[in-house]
Amino acid sequence: MKKNKDLKNFKPSNKNLLMALAAVVVMLVAYRAIQISIENRRVVFNIAREHAAHGTPVETMTARTQTGHLMEPVAVKNNRIYVSGARVGRFKVGQRLSGGGRITSVSNRIDLDTGLFALRTSGAPDGNHSVMIEHSGVFMPLHAVSGSSVMVVENGISARRSVIVIASDAETAVVRGLLDGDIVILTRVASNVKIKGK
């Protein structure tokens, strides 16, 4: 009974205030519902979803067997080059040096004073040079080789291929085990990943 009495005593100005407050609450709820609807319709870019759908973009090269040169750094002093036993097998008589001159002899004995193998040169000024060493195989960036394998594209999917590394310098590796025309992946990527493009 008391409630009915309170409602009868409720003044119209209070009723209008209550109605306005209810209208504001309804508008806020409606506004938030519209915002949620807009957010739900928005497509958010997801890199993993993009790569799964269209493939991972990678840098590639086409394998091609060729003959070329790698550069082996050496220091010349008084027409001599001293190298370790691990490196001596890379040098041959007649190889050219980047600063001019050629290798004239490769010793098969260790120099007792230095513990290294001596190579003689002619026409090479003292200083740091590189010896151009000829190789045949597929030349590729050194970072593309992981141990004794490279990644290739097979039917649009990345696959690991075993190779034999013939030689390498600071930037380039020469390998065998690829066919001319194989697409080699130069970017780090896991096996069995869909590749974008080729």
Q: Is the pLDDT of residue 3 over 70?
A: no
Termini Cα distance of the chain? 83
Same domain, 7 and 98: no
Domain membership of residue 126 (yes or no) is yes
Same domain, 30 and 64: no
Beta strands 127-141; 102-110: pairing state: unpaired
Domain membership of residue 51 (yes or no) is no
* Model confidence band, residue 141 (pLDDT cutoffs 50, 70, 90): very high
Q: 52: closest CA among 194, 198, 177?
A: 194
Alpha carbons 128 and 75: distance in angstroms, whole number: 4
Say what percent of the chain tops pLDDT 90.
53
Q: Running DSSP on this structure, what letter comes out for residue 146? A: B
What pLDDT shows up at residue 42? 76
Domain membership of residue 132 (yes or no) is yes
Same domain, 123 and 155: yes
Same domain, 22 and 75: no
- Give every strand in the sheet of 183-185, ordered side by side: 60-62, 183-185, 149-154, 157-162
Mean pLDDT of the chain: 87
What pLDDT shows up at residue 128? 93
Domain membership of residue 193 (yes or no) is no
Alpha carbons 139 and 172: distance in angstroms, whole number: 7
Same domain, 118 and 170: yes
Q: Which residue has the tokens 């000829």?
A: 134
* Model confidence band, residue 12 (pLDDT cutoffs 50, 70, 90): low
Whole-model pTM? 0.65
Same domain, 75 and 173: yes
Task: Tell me how many domains the chain contains.
Answer: 2
What pLDDT shows up at residue 82? 92
Where are the alpha helices (H) located in 42-104, listed in sequence order?
47-54, 85-88
Domain of residue 102 covers: 60-185
43 vs 72, higher pLDDT = 72
Domain membership of residue 98 (yes or no) is yes
* Model confidence band, residue 170 (pLDDT cutoffs 50, 70, 90): confident
Q: Is the pLDDT of residue 197 over 70?
A: no
Same domain, 34 and 76: no
Average of pLDDT values for 91-107? 90
What pLDDT shows up at residue 5? 57
Same domain, 37 and 64: no
Same domain, 11 and 89: no
What pLDDT shows up at residue 26? 93
Q: 64: closest CA among 159, 139, 150?
A: 139
Domain membership of residue 191 (yes or no) is no
